[in-house]
Chains A and B, each alone.
Chain A
Amino acid sequence: MADTPKIEISRRGFLKGAGITAATGVIESANAFARDAKGALHGAQTIGPDAQPIKLHINGHELAVSVEPRYTLAETLRDNLGLTGTKVVCDRGSCSACTVWIDKVPALACMTLAVDAVGREITTIEGLSHGDTMHSVQVAFVKHDAMQCGFCTPGMVMSCAALLERNPNPKLDDVKHAVSGNLCRCGTYPKVFAATLDVAQQRAQASGLVNLDTGTEA
């Protein structure tokens, strides 16, 4: 996208958010659409069938886009907003390559209509990094060589990062469960598990020793 929005989420804010999510635990993570959609349409309001302007909250920014109701969030992110980090593979909800967070919960962009995401807080893989500084899960994926062709990687990272937000001390089975929907045909799973557990361990060590705001996990 020509005018890439500046990511405003601060590392401190991100980690604070992680703590809060962890405290409230499972129920918070159970419904991608539980929260009232602020700014969503009021009353029985009809959109379409022709393209209409909507506003989406993506990675901390409000972005205007004109779409038909039949456009999925994945198509809108990639084709209309240039956020091509979100991948589309099966386009049927089977492979989870298109995983984004909707209101902090991992969800499928290919099975979400863009018009249904109005008023929701969307986080894509582009929203995880902080400028040129990669998210700790991304750093660990590089360190552990947790990708081969790389096509499943954005979705895989979104699943692992969400797990660490709600459970800072996951066990191997928790990581397996978190990526059980993410299909990797290269078979990188063991390295994905190692990378995610490594981040958890580093964070646990860092929380006792160093200021997390320095963000230097690598």
Chain B
Amino acid sequence: MNKFAFVDCKTVDQVLGQLGDGAMVKAGGIDLLDLMKEDIVSPPRLVNIRNVDSLRGITISTDGLHLGPLSTLSEIASHPEIQRSYSALADAAGHAATPQVRNMATLGGNIMQRPRCWYFRSSDFDCKKKGEGSDECHAHNGENQYHAIMNNSSCAMVHPSSTAVPLLGLGAQVELTSKRGKRMVAMSEFYVPPEKSVVNETVVRPGELITSIFVPAPEPGTRSAYQKYGEKESFDWPIADAGIVLVMDGARCRKASVVLGVAAPTPIRSKEAEAVLVGKTIDEGTARAAGKAAMLHATPLSQNGYKTQLFETAIYRTVLLAAGQMQRDQSAVG
């Protein structure tokens, strides 16, 4: 790790005053320290926000769920009201990484993680995502069994955030604060796909800090679930994960969000799968058809064709889990 100065802040104003000149924000520090140990980033200054009290706390109000960005994944996973009304979010937070990581990792840090791609994460490789001197995507011709199977023509990274999947499905918004004021960004606009910019991963601008994450109160009849599939039962990145939000009118599905996590470089909604579910009675047939529809436009690479089957299964089983027609999958993670 490079040498750096550590600036411990107590207020948002102090944090905003410290940003710039290559400084990086540190909350739980899990992804950041990982990147620093691998020499992927070498910031001269870390701005510690972990002791900023105003960035903590989980509040439920009539309009929805207000999450301080310093809420840990453990706090979110164990919160009774989140488990009840925002099940997919509790599921996603509770099945990320390990208990120790979940006790430290924050929601803000979770959605701000850098992408997973072993070429990007290795200082031995230059690539176009790293910006300087290379126009290569090594995953396209190299080892790519865990890479993206959709929207992968420019860069085949995947975004590892489990919580981003339900946050997108539940219509969450991220509050960004800078010296010039605040702005709200919908989760659907938060991530920048590589075909728009291979370098910028989010719309967060220099000098901005995530100060709140808001999830609107679910409509009556809303049911949601999240399941993640990986090679190991614990501490593993997903190789397929699905977040499903259904608004049910009796047995009939009135609205649906089908979100795929590590299918593409950013979490995406599958309009094709949603079109299959809306207006239908949810049963095994419609759930399977939704899984198939979601993979219609998949463009797997040389080694990751198996992920299309895994996503079809993840979507089918998670739709039925959300609808209350199937138990949590024993072969899913956790």
Contact = CB atoms under 8 A, between A and B. Distances in A.
A124 B97 CA distance: 22
Nearest to A90: B235
A34 interface: yes
A55 to B, nearest CB: 14
For the complex of A and B, list the 4 residue pairs with the smallest distance between their C-beta atoms, beginning with the closest: A181-B98, A69-B6, A30-B74, A44-B14
27 contacts: A27-B79, A29-B78, A29-B103, A30-B72, A30-B78, A32-B103, A33-B104, A42-B10, A44-B18, A50-B3, A68-B3, A69-B6, A70-B1, A70-B2, A70-B3, A70-B4, A93-B30, A93-B97, A95-B235, A99-B100, A108-B30, A111-B30, A112-B104, A115-B6, A159-B100, A180-B235, A183-B235
A108 B104 contact: yes
A142 interface: no
B75 A27 contact: yes
Interface string A18-50: 000000001101111110110011111111111
Contacts of B8: 40-41, 44-47, 115-116
A46 B78 contact: no
Interface string A166-203: 00000000000110111100000000000000000000
A70 B29 CA distance: 12
A43 B18 CA distance: 12
Interface residues of A, number: 48
B7 A44 contact: yes
B34 interface: yes
Which secondary structure dominates chain B's binding surface?
mixed
B231 interface: no
Interface in A88-145: 91-96, 99, 105-108, 111-113, 115-116
Contact of A32 (B10, B14, B72): B72
A71 to B, nearest CB: 9
B9 A44 contact: yes
Contact of A159 (B4, B99, B104): B99
Interface residues on B, range: 35 or more
A45 B3 CA distance: 17
Contacts of B97: 93, 181
A159 B98 CA distance: 11
A32 B4 contact: no
Given A47-B7, A48-B4, 4 more contacts: A46-B5, A69-B5, A70-B2, A107-B104
A34 B55 CA distance: 11
Contacts of A96: 98, 100
A175 B72 CA distance: 21
A30 B14 CA distance: 26
Interface stretch (B46-54, B152-160, B210-218): B46-54
A26 B90 CA distance: 14
A30 B103 contact: yes
Contacts of B103: 29-32, 105-107
A45 B15 CA distance: 11
A106 B4 contact: no
Contact of A48 (B6, B53, B78): B6
B235 A94 contact: yes
B53 A112 contact: no
Interface in B58-92: 72, 74-75, 77-79
B101 interface: yes
A144 to B, nearest CB: 22
A180 B3 contact: no
Contacts of B78: 26-27, 29-30
A7 to B, nearest CB: 23
Contacts of B334: 180
A111 B104 contact: yes
A69 B46 CA distance: 9
A76 to B, nearest CB: 13
A108 B100 contact: yes
A49 B5 contact: yes
Contacts of A41: 8
